[in-house]
A and B are shown apart, each in its own frame.
Chain A
Amino acid sequence: MAERPTAGLMTTGFMAATPRPAKVLFADGSTVELSGDQAELVDLVLGGPDTVTPETAARMLGVSRPMVLRWIREGHLEDHMQGTRHHITLTSVKRYGEARAAAGRRAAATIAAAAGGDDRAAGRLAGARQRAKQRIAERDG
């Protein structure tokens, strides 16, 4: 892609539960279309709102809205309510999202090690595998 002047860069997108496409207007009058996700990311990078709604947090974290509310109650997400409106700090959403991603990476590495013959890793999985068997038995029973 050819270089474009960055002066006068602005977005017309905004963060929403389902991000809408946006258009970027450059100083020279040229424009480029951004997808909804790209617009949301630009909004974040350029210092968009530092709080998000439960709907946006749900989409960012890949969970339902009630799960977001549960995580607020459990202290994993930071919420500043104004009246009946939730304002969840973006920092806490990112932090907890990264904690979940890190747990996923650790879990995947342990599972891969166990599959590769690592007895210690297989031992670490013993409890999880037992609970997994119980879940399947309950589901199929």
Chain B
Amino acid sequence: MSEDYPDLEEAAYELRFTGRALEDLNCPNDTPPGDAAAVRAGTEYTEIVAHFQDQRTAHPTSGGPPLRDVGRHDIYSVRGPVGERACTWYDRSSGICWFLGRVAGHDYDEFEVRAANGELLPSEDDYTSLEFEREELDLASTVGPGVRRLVDQAVDRPGVPVRRTVGHLLQLDVSVLALDADDDTYRELYITVRVPPLEPPPQDWPGGDGIAERVAELATNLPAEELSLEFPTEVPAGTREVRQIDFSAERAVVIRGWTLPD
């Protein structure tokens, strides 16, 4: 047990592979880095991946000594059945045990070279992939059901906006307004999404209309290609009132000609 992490038996974490590790394993480019089963299916080095799964789901640092000469003391080895070696790192703050790389034989020198070049630990791309994947999962599993409940409420009371904060990771303040169109079958559905602020805010935050488009998909359970979407600069704010979208933190989408589900 590492002295740095006395409570590792209680650690909640996921297994994940860096992009460099997936290259070492000769996985196809589109292999999801958080799906160990997909990695095993895509690599010829299935045994080392299986060892990683077996050992690291039980404990984040067990199965081998920490590596030396890699600039830190919390990178551990996993030994494969044919003499190969992998190294892993338990990233407590991210809740991830990373598979950092694989080498043939006892070629720890390669890990040392990568460490010296700043290429051993997860890269910005690795963390971006992790963060976006968690965002997507939160959207689908938490935001989606919340938005659909709002849509149901909004459709029941056309002209009355309903609003709620939904989501865990990405707390979205969602407002839904259903308006009757000429044909009772169709509705105009205005969805406004306010995203939490980031300090400092990225240059292109909150990232164009993509978040609103994604929430529209979740609200209707339909892909964006099958929806008639527009991204307005102002939205209804009550009877005959409109308000401007606050583009520093909000995005809006209107779904036109949307057929009510049976």
Contact = CB atoms under 8 A, between A and B. Distances in A.
Contact of B53 (A62, A76, A96): A62
B30 A112 contact: yes
B10 interface: yes
B131 A64 contact: no
B142 to A, nearest CB: 9
Contacts of A103: 133-134, 136-137, 140
A130 B133 contact: no
B13 A127 contact: no
A119 B13 CA distance: 33
B207 interface: yes
Nearest to A102: B140
A102 to B, nearest CB: 7
A58 interface: yes
Nearest to B131: A128
A62 B127 contact: no
B53 A111 contact: no
Interface residues of B, number: 59
A132 B206 contact: no
A80 interface: no
Query: Quick one: which of A17, A125, A133 has the most chain B CB within 10 A?
Result: A125
Contact of B206 (A102, A126, A133, A136): A126
Nearest to A67: B12
B202 A135 contact: no
A110 B132 CA distance: 9
A127 B30 CA distance: 22
B141 interface: yes
Contacts of A58: 57
A107 interface: yes
Given A64-B60, A105-B32, A111-B129, A129 B211 contact: no
Judged by DSSP, the binding face of A is helix
B173 to A, nearest CB: 15
Nearest to A111: B129
Interface stretch (B33-41, B158-166, B234-242): B33-41
A127 B198 contact: yes
Contact of A125 (B36, B91, B207): B207
Given A59-B53, A107-B136, A123-B210, A67 B10 contact: no
Query: Quick one: which of B35, B132, B207 has the most chain A CB within 10 A?
Result: B132
Contacts of A130: 198, 202, 205
B233 interface: no
Given A59-B54, A123-B207, A128-B128, A67 B135 contact: no
Contacts of B203: 126
A81 B53 CA distance: 26
Contacts of A131: 127, 131, 198
A99 B202 contact: no
Interface in A58-83: 58-59, 62-67, 69-70, 76
Contacts of B214: 124
A84 B127 CA distance: 37
B204 interface: yes
B147 interface: no
Given A102-B140, A124-B132, A131-B198, 6 more contacts: A96-B141, A107-B32, A121-B210, A128-B135, A132-B126, A136-B124
Interface of A: 17-18, 37, 58-59, 62-67, 69-70, 76, 96, 99-112, 119-133, 135-136, 138-139
- The 9 A-B pairs with the shortest beta carbon distances in the complex, nearest first, are A123-B208, A132-B127, A104-B32, A124-B210, A128-B132, A128-B131, A103-B137, A123-B207, A62-B36
